[in-house]
Amino acid sequence: MIILVLNSGSSSVKYQLLEMQDKTLLASGLVERIGQSGSAYKHERLPGTDTSQVFSNEQDIPDHSTALDLVVKLITGEQTGVIKDVSSINGIGHRIVHGGEDFNTPILVDDDVVEGIRAQIPLAPLHNPGGLAGIETAKRLMPGIPNVAVFDTAFHQTMPPEAYRMAIPAELYSELKIRRYGFHGTSHLYVAKQCAATLGQTLEQTSCITVHLGNGCSMAAVKQGRCVDTSMGLTPLAGLVMGTRSGDVDPALHAFLTDKKGYSIQDIDNLLNKKSGLLGLCGDNDMRDIHARIDKGDSDAELALKIFCRRVTQYIGQYMAILDKTQAICFTAGVGENDERVRELSCATLSGLGVVLDKKRNQEVRRGEICEISSPESRVKVLVIPTNEELEIATQTAQVLSSS
Ligand SMILES: Nc1ncnc2c1ncn2[C@@H]1O[C@H](COP(=O)(O)OP(=O)(O)O)[C@@H](O)[C@H]1O
Ligand SMILES: CC(=O)OP(=O)(O)O
Ligand SMILES: [Mg+2]
Catalytic site includes residue 152 = yes
Confirm whether residue 338 is marked as ligand binding: yes
The CATH superfamily label for domain 2-151 reads ATPase, nucleotide binding domain (3.30.420.40)
pLDDT tens-digit readout, 306-346: 999 999 999 999 999 999 899 999 999 999 999 999 999 99
Average pLDDT over residues 188-213: 98
Query: Does any ligand 2 atom lie closer than 6 A to the CB of residue 34?
Result: no
Name the residue of 285, 332, 338, 343 to mutate for ligand 1: max ligand atoms within 8 A of Cβ: 338
Q: What is the pLDDT of residue 126?
A: 81
Residue 95's CB is within 10 A of a number of other CB atoms, namely 24
CATH topology of 2-151 equal to that of 201-389? Answer: yes
Confirm whether residue 360 is marked as ligand binding: no
Do the Cβ atoms of 223 and 195 come closer than 8 Å? no
Q: Report, in angstroms and rounded to the nearest whole number, the Rg of the chain calculated over CA atoms.
A: 21
Q: What is the pLDDT of residue 381?
A: 98
pLDDT at 89 > cutoff 80: yes
Residue nearest atom 23 in ligand 1 by C-alpha distance:
215
Q: What is the pLDDT of residue 98?
A: 95
Question: Average pLDDT, whole number, for the chain?
Answer: 95
pLDDT tens-digit readout, 240-258: 999 999 999 999 999 999 9
Please report, in angstroms and rounded to a whole number, the separation of the first and last CA atoms in the chain: 14
Name the residue of 215, 219, 332 to mutate for ligand 2: max ligand atoms within 8 A of Cβ: 215
* In the chain, where the domains are located: 2-151, 201-389
* Shortest-distance ligand to the CA of residue 218: 2
Average pLDDT over residues 10-26: 93
Burial (Cβ within 10 Å: 0-12, 13-18, ≥19) of residue 134: buried
pLDDT at 127 > cutoff 90: no
Residue nearest atom 8 in ligand 2 by C-alpha distance:
216
Average pLDDT over residues 115-131: 91
93 residue type, one letter: G
Average pLDDT over residues 367-377: 97
Q: What is the pLDDT of residue 263?
A: 97
Give the integer Cα–Cα distance in Å for 268 and 264.
6
Q: What is the pLDDT of residue 125?
A: 85
Phi-psi group of 339: left, alpha or beta (phi > 0 → left; psi -120 to 50 → alpha; rest → beta): beta
Average pLDDT over residues 158-163: 98
Q: Is the dihedral of CA 332, 223, 152, 265 positive or negative?
A: negative
Query: What confidence tier does 264 reach under pLDDT thresholds 50, 70, 90?
Result: very high
Do the Cβ atoms of 351 and 316 come closer than 8 Å? no
- pLDDT > 70 in the chain, percent: 100
Average pLDDT over residues 90-100: 97
What φ, ψ does residue 318 adopt, rounded to 5°? Answer: -60, -45
Cα distances (Å, whole numbers) of residue 329 to 73, 128, 211, 233, 385: 41, 30, 7, 21, 10
Per annotation, catalytic residue among 22, 85, 152, 250:
152
Q: Is the dihedral of CA 122, 124, 127, 130 positive or negative?
A: negative
pLDDT at 49 > cutoff 80: no
Q: What is the pLDDT of residue 267?
A: 96
Nearest to 309 by CA among 243, 241, 244: 241
Residue ranges of alpha helices (H) inside 96-210 are: 111-119, 128-141, 161-164, 170-176, 185-199
Out of 30-39, 50-59, 328-337, the most confident range is: 328-337
**Is domain 201-389 classified as CATH 3.90.1150.10?**
no
Would you mind telling me the total number of residues written for the chain in this entry?
404
Q: What is the pLDDT of residue 51?
A: 67
Q: How far is the CA of 216 from the centre of ligand 2 (A)?
A: 4
Give the integer Cα–Cα distance in Å for 219 and 236.
12
How many angstroms from the chain centroid is the CA of residue 206? 21
Average pLDDT over residues 152-169: 98
